[in-house]
C-alpha cells in the first residue's frame, strides 16, 4: 500500500473509532458545554492547552465538537452507503441478471427517484415531521442514494451474467436464485464497494452543504457542516472554528477517495491477471 494510502486509511480508522467511542475518550470535553456562561472559559479562543483546537463562538470545545460531529457526518454517509449497497446493489444485480419486464419496471422507478429534486423531498419531510432528526435526514439521503448504486450494480451484473461461468452454473442445474447470490452478486460487490467509498465522500460533503442551508441536524448537535455554518458569524475575529471542521471534512473526503481508488486498482490488477 503506498504510504499516502496508508495515511488515509489510518485517518479513516481514527476518525471512525473516535466517533464510535467518543464517550470513552479520556479528557474529551462536553461538546455542548458552554463554558463562558459559567465563567469557565471564553468564546472564540484560539488553540491552546485547555482546548486543543480552541473554542467556537459559544465557547464550546472545538475538538469535542469535531469528534461528536463526526458521528453525524459518518452516520449520514453510512446510511447512504448501506442503503445504496444493500437495496441498490440487490435490485441492480437482480435486474441485470434477469432482465426483461422486471428490468424495465425497476429502472423506471429508479429513474423517477433520480429525477426527483432531493432538496424538495428533504424539506417536505423535515417540515412534515417538524424536526430535523439525524435519523430522518440520514434515511432521506440514504433513499436518494439508491439510484446510482442500482445503475452501477445493473451494469456490472449485465456483463457478469454474460460470462460463461454463469452459463455453466445454469448447465449444472443450479437454481436461478442461487446463481444470483452465489455467482453474480459476489462479482458485483467489489466494484460497488469501491464506488461506495467515493460516494461516501460525496455524501459527507452533501451534508455539509445541507447544513449551510439549514437543513441538517438541529443545534446543539454538531456536524462538521453545521460547525462551518455556525462559524460564519464571527469569522472576522476567529477563523479557527471554520478551519478545523473544514480540515476534518477535507481529510475524510480525500481519504475516502484515495482508499476507494486504491481498492479499485487492487481489484482491477487481479482481474487483469485473468
Partner 1 sequence: MAGTGKAHLRPGDDVLVTVEDLVVEFPVGRGRTVKAVSGISFDIRSGETLGLVGESGCGKSTSGRAIIQLPRPTSGSVTFRGVDLADLSDEEIRQRRTHIQMIFQDPISSLNPRRTVGDIVAEPLRVWGPSDASEQEAIVDRMLDSVGVDPDTARDKRPHEFSGGQCQRISIARSLVMLTNRGNLHRSRRRSRSSSRSRGRGRGRLLICDEPVSSLDVSVQAQILNLLEDLKAGYGLTMMFIAHDLAVVKNISDRVAVMYLGKLCEVADPDTLYAEAAHPYTDLLLGSVPEPDPTVEIDEGLIEDGELPSPSNPPSGCRFRTRCERVTDLCSSEEPQMRAVGDDHFVACHHPLAAVAG
The distance of closest approach from Cβ of residue 193 to partner 1 in the complex, given in angstroms and rounded to an integer, is: 13
The distance of closest approach from Cβ of residue 160 to partner 1 in the complex, given in angstroms and rounded to an integer, is: 9
The distance of closest approach from Cβ of residue 169 to partner 1 in the complex, given in angstroms and rounded to an integer, is: 7
Neighbours of 21 (CB within 10 A): 11
Cβ closest to partner 1, residue 104 vs residue 167 = 167
Cβ closest to partner 1, residue 191 vs residue 258 = 191
The distance of closest approach from Cβ of residue 89 to partner 1 in the complex, given in angstroms and rounded to an integer, is: 15
In whole angstroms, what is the distance from residue 242 CA to residue 54 CA? 11
Cβ closest to partner 1, residue 237 vs residue 272 = 272
Query: Under the rule (CB under 8 A), what is the footprint of partner 1?
Result: 163-165, 167-175, 182-183, 186-187, 270-271, 273-274
Cβ closest to partner 1, residue 183 vs residue 207 = 183
Neighbours of 66 (CB within 10 A): 24
In whole angstroms, what is the distance from residue 264 CA to residue 56 CA? 39
The distance of closest approach from Cβ of residue 80 to partner 1 in the complex, given in angstroms and rounded to an integer, is: 25
Cβ closest to partner 1, residue 10 vs residue 167 = 167
Cβ closest to partner 1, residue 23 vs residue 164 = 164
The distance of closest approach from Cβ of residue 183 to partner 1 in the complex, given in angstroms and rounded to an integer, is: 5
Amino acid at each position: 500500500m503506498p504510504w499516502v494510502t496508508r495515511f488515509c486509511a489510518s485517518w479513516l480508522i481514527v476518525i471512525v473509532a473516535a466517533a464510535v467511542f467518543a464517550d470513552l475518550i479520556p479528557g474529551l470535553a462536553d461538546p455542548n458545554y458552554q463554558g463562558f456562561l459559567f465563567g469557565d472559559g471564553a468564546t472564540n479562543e484560539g488553540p491552546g492547552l485547555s482546548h486543543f483546537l480552541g473554542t467556537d463562538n459559544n465557547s464550546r470545545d472545538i475538538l469535542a465538537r469535531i469528534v461528536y460531529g463526526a458521528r453525524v457526518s459518518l452516520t449520514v454517509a453510512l446510511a447512504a452507503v448501506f442503503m445504496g449497497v444493500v437495496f441498490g446493489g440487490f435490485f441492480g444485480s437482480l435486474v441485470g441478471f434477469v432482465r426483461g419486464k422486471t428490468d424495465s419496471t425497476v429502472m423506471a422507478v429508479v429513474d423517477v427517484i433520480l429525477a426527483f429534486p432531493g432538496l424538495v423531498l428533504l424539506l417536505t419531510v423535515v417540515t412534515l415531521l417538524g424536526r430535523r432528526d439525524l435519523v430522518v435526514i440520514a434515511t432521506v439521503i440514504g433513499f436518494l442514494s439508491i439510484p446510482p448504486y442500482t445503475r452501477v450494480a445493473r451494469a456490472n451484473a449485465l456483463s457478469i451474467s454474460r460470462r460463461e461461468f454463469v452459463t455453466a452454473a445454469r448447465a449444472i442445474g443450479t437454481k436461478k436464485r442461487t446463481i444470483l447470490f452465489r455467482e453474480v452478486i459476489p462479482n458485483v460487490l467489489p466494484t460497488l464497494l469501491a464506488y461506495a467509498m467515493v460516494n461516501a465522500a460525496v455524501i459527507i460533503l452533501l451534508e455539509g452543504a445541507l447544513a449551510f442551508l439549514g437543513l441538517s441536524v438541529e443545534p446543539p448537535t454538531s456536524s462538521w457542516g453545521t460547525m462551518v455554518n455556525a462559524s460564519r458569524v464571527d469569522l472576522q475575529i476567529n477563523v479557527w472554528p471554520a478551519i478545523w471542521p473544514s480540515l476534518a471534512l477535507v481529510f475524510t473526503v480525500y481519504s475516502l477517495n484515495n482508499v476507494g481508488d486504491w481498492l479499485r486498482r487492487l481489484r482491477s490488477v487481479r482481474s487483469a491477471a485473468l
